[in-house]
């Protein structure tokens, strides 16, 4: 997974993500903490890079214009979940609710299409039982998110 991207791959990756990374709302994710000392923006970039590498590994079969926006916006919920009061009700817990919040923001600020929204909505599966990733892009982001969260947590 650590293989360096070629110049061509790096350009492709950057060209798709640039409009998102230059947006003030996406930059706002720098202010929120994901795991340990990693910001939500850093985490989302890690997920985008990992999802892109997984796509290379598994035969370049995804639509990168779905995979990469989905990855960079998968945690676009725009609040610090550490500030939220703890809920004992499982369906109100951050892990369960943030995909919908991120999805709404992606639609509101970037007019994310249905496929990108599905990537975002399903990234916490199997926690969100009924939001099953059904297309390749959603599956790769779901896996990449777990790999990155684990690595970032162990890095603390
Ligand atoms: Fe998430
Ligand atoms: Fe995440």
Q: Please tell me the number of the ligand nearest to residue 127's CA.
A: 1
Whole-number percent of the chain with pLDDT over 70: 92
Centre of ligand 2 from the C-alpha of residue 131, in Å = 15
pLDDT category of residue 91 using cuts at 50, 70 and 90: low
Say yes or no to pLDDT of 129 above 60.
Answer: yes
* Least confident among 39-53, 72-86, 105-119: 72-86
Tell me the two tokens of residue 130.
Answer: 């009924």
pTM: 0.93
Q: Please tell me the number of the ligand nearest to residue 72's CA.
A: 2
Looking from the CA of 118 toward its CB, the CA atoms found within 13 Å total 15
pLDDT category of residue 75 using cuts at 50, 70 and 90: very high
pLDDT category of residue 110 using cuts at 50, 70 and 90: very high
Alpha-carbon distance 112 to 46, whole Å? 20
Say yes or no to pLDDT of 85 above 80.
Answer: no
Centre of ligand 1 from the C-alpha of residue 40, in Å = 9
Q: Domains (ranges, CATH) in the chain?
A: 7-154 (1.10.3210.10)
Ion ligand 2: protein residues whose beta carbon lies under 5 Å: 75, 145
Q: Are 73 and 113 in contact (CB under 8 A)?
A: no
Secondary structure in 3-state letters for 10-62: HHHHHHHHHHHHCCHHHHHHHHCEEECCEEHHHHHHHHHHHHHHHHHHCCCCC
Centre of ligand 2 from the C-alpha of residue 4, in Å = 22
């Amino acid at each position: 997974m650590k293989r360096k991207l070629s110049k061509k791959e790096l350009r492709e990756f950057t060209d798709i993500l640039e409009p998102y990374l230059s947006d003030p709302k996406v930059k706002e994710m720098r202010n929120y903490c994901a795991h340990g000392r990693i910001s939500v923006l850093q985490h989302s970039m890690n997920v985008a890079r990992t999802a892109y590498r997984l796509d290379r590994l598994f035969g370049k079969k995804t639509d990168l214009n779905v995979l990469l926006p989905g990855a960079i916006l998968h945690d676009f919920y725009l609040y610090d979940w550490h500030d939220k009061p703890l809920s004992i009700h499982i369906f109100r817990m951050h892990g369960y609710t943030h995909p919908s919040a991120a999805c709404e923001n992606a639609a509101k600020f970037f007019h994310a299409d249905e496929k990108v929204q599905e990537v975002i909505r399903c990234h916490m599966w199997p926690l969100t039982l009924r939001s099953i990733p059904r297309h390749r892009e959603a599956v790769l982001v779901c896996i990449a998110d777990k790999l990155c969260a684990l690595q970032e947590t162990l890095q603390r």
